[in-house]
Amino acid sequence: MNKDIHPIARITSFLSSLEPASLGKLDDHYTRDIDFRDPINQGDGIDDLQAIFADLFKQLDNIRMDVTSSQGDEREAFLRWNMYYEFRGKKRELPGVSFFLFAKDGRVMRQEDFWDASSGVFEEFPGLATLIRGARRMARVRPDRHH
């Protein structure tokens, strides 16, 4: 791990080149007690994070992360990203945001990912997709245009 590289640049580089072989290098980028959260998963510790990432590579094909912007400092940061992948033979794109809290050595000690699970994952299942579309129609705000 190169401590001369800013933590944001280091985690951006890691995520942008993430592949199954990267899982052996998680200790270089994450603390042993990493606290990880996303809309579906929750992990406490590097072993949980490795299992979550390994499962991602089992479920999805040709995963590529494209970090589009970042904001933060040596203590915490936000990254906007798009994840491109294939699922059931179809190409997909999932936009999201990650929050990172860095340890003093620059490794990530907390990561919270925010993305729309209803369109990014759950809509892949026919029954759930119908329920989600119906719920969206019911919840949608309809502005009154007669003011």
> What is the pLDDT at residue 2?
53
User: Facing residues of 110 across strands?
Assistant: 35, 101
pLDDT given at position 66: 96
Measuring CA to CA, which residue among 85, 72, 76 is closest to residue 115?
85
Q: What is the CATH number of domain 7-115?
A: 3.10.450.50
Tokens for 68? 């589009």
Contacts 24+ apart (CB under 8 A), 109-112: 109/30, 109/31, 109/33, 109/34, 109/35, 110/34, 110/35, 110/36, 111/30, 111/34, 111/35, 111/36, 111/37, 112/36, 112/37, 112/38
Structural domain spans, the chain: 7-115, 117-147
Q: What's the DSSP call for residue 107?
A: -
pLDDT of residue 61: 93
pLDDT per position in the chain (147 positions), as tens? 556 689 999 999 999 999 999 899 999 999 999 999 999 999 999 999 999 999 999 989 999 999 999 999 999 999 999 999 998 889 999 999 999 999 999 999 999 999 987 765 545 555 544 554 555 566 567 777 666
